[in-house]
Structure 1
Amino acid sequence: MTLVEHLEELRRRTIISLAAVVVGTVIGFIWYQSSPPGLMPLGEIIRRPYCNLPAELRADFTGEGECRLLATNPFEMFMLRLKVGALAGLVLSSPVWLLEIWSFITPGLHKNEKRNTLTFVTLAVGLFVAGAALAYFVLDKGLYVLMSIGGEVQVGALSGGSYFNFLLGLIVVFGVSFELPLIVIMLNLAGVLRYEHVKDKRRAIILGLFIFAAFMTPGQDPFSMVALGASMSLLVELAFQVCRVHDKRRGRERPEWMQLDDEVASGPVEPAGPIGTSAVAPGGAFERPGPIARPEPVDKPAPRQSLSGGAFDDIL
């Protein structure tokens, strides 16, 4: 394909992906308040961790004990519904735009590259979903810790926008953090990181992961930090075990001399013998070579006749 054909294909696949996201956003916008039988509305799913708080920790704006988020400007309710619908549309349309990206990239990949890419993309999506699910369940406990601090003086009245941003930030942090073991495995497969580099540094790595969790969690509550740090430590340990098995398998497939550095010799260098001589056993003798066979003489061509005399007569 020419460059123009590639650009046309990219434009077509981009339009299809955007159309799928728009359709998914419309579905999510409707699903925010109205849901099909057997499903919970998106608005109810989002506010459930907040509504699970005890009644004395959240403000009652209806006078009937109903759980409602606070809106501080006229457009906040509409924007919250639009944000939730857009996020739901992005998730609902993910099979379409992922397929379009895959169809655009794979023609330039070999068979093994397609298989490896599909495996890593599947693992990446699965890890992100697992992190997002853990963040949603952690929010229930973490929000209780945050809202109960100073409950004797204040009462929680969260606005819809701030609550959604907090939930979205927690989901993104957990989802992206769960990609760390996949990065470790990729570095190991590329030969950059080996198991022997990290096998004696587990304590420092775990400490670094907990420090990372303390800084990256939006609320900085202890429950969220412990949950993120412990889950990342477990996943990184699983990644280290995968690296250990891969290094052992690669060591069996490669000879020992290929494991040496470029500046290290593969063994002692022995002095070379004299050039042009051959070893003769003691007491042995050289055999006298026989006469060299001379080539037989080649018959010489007959001498040319002179062109004098009758030679001219013959030609005429």
Structure 2
Amino acid sequence: MKFDTAYSVSLDDKLSIYDVRELNFDETAAYDSDKDRFLCPNDACRAAFETGNVLGTYNAKNVNYQRTPHFKNTPSTEHIEGCRYASSHKPAAGESDDAREDNFPSEFVLTRRTYARITPVVDAEGQAPQAPAQTPSGRPPAAVSASDGTPDKTSVFAHPVECYVSNIDHKDKLKAMPLKIGEHSATYWAFFKKIEYLQDNHGLIYWGKIKAIKDYTSSFRIDFEKKVWLDKKPYSVNVYLSKKLIENYRKRKAFLEQIKAAASSERPLYCFFYGVTPALKQVPSKKNPEQTFGVFSANIENLDHLIIREVPMLE
């Protein structure tokens, strides 16, 4: 069976599989999931066995997102009788081992989770790249649940995105699952807005199919396939990723590997982002700088809140 929470021996804490993925690519933290040991998140079950009674991981270290990540039992993993994570659990009808993300967090926390037992890795100037983003109101960070089961909150953008993507053909489920971001509460279905309808509401998770990724060597522009209609005229939509934003990103190496591969890929890819809303701007024409044309555009402010990935359910 699959589950997305496990106990990390090295961190002495319970992590979601999405937390593990984040840590694997974080250049400011000395962490490698291959050197960690993951145990059953059930406290009573974990206490009944030696620390060698470990779990495996699926899709914990792939830079390019490949299907739903999860922890899994190995052939030698044991559980106490009645443990909900035992392999004897039979999937429900229509449930496969890795087809859908069923563990919906009810809150996406905008402040990145930190871990007391991880020592930050500093650069040559003694600085750690990109400090955790602060909540807009300046309130203390909300704690991410470390309960036995699935965390009720997550600070990893990939988690709610995977919940939406893997269930995109299950509209009723997405309309029933609640999600809170900052001061706003809605359902998963309402929070995710197709890029062509970005004028309908601000402060949502916008997404759409990528038309092209412009590689300017140290910066990038993501152009979307769909256009926004305003006053009966179509306008292109894009988001810009600045050189400074990328250079200061704590997952810079992994991000550059991913976006460069995406820029040259012929596979259908989609971009999801939160935190900015593209607005209509007038930009100069390359052929005639004295002339301008309209485009809906925005500068991404936090790469933690942007994902480029496939959406198999739409292809």
Q: Considering fraction of residues, name the structure with more helix.
A: 1
Structure with greater contact order relative to length (CA < 8 Å, sep ≥ 6): 1
TM-score under structure 1 normalisation?
0.20
Q: Considering fraction of residues, name the structure with more strand.
A: 2
TM-score under structure 2 normalisation?
0.20
- Mark the structure with the bigger radius of gyration: 1
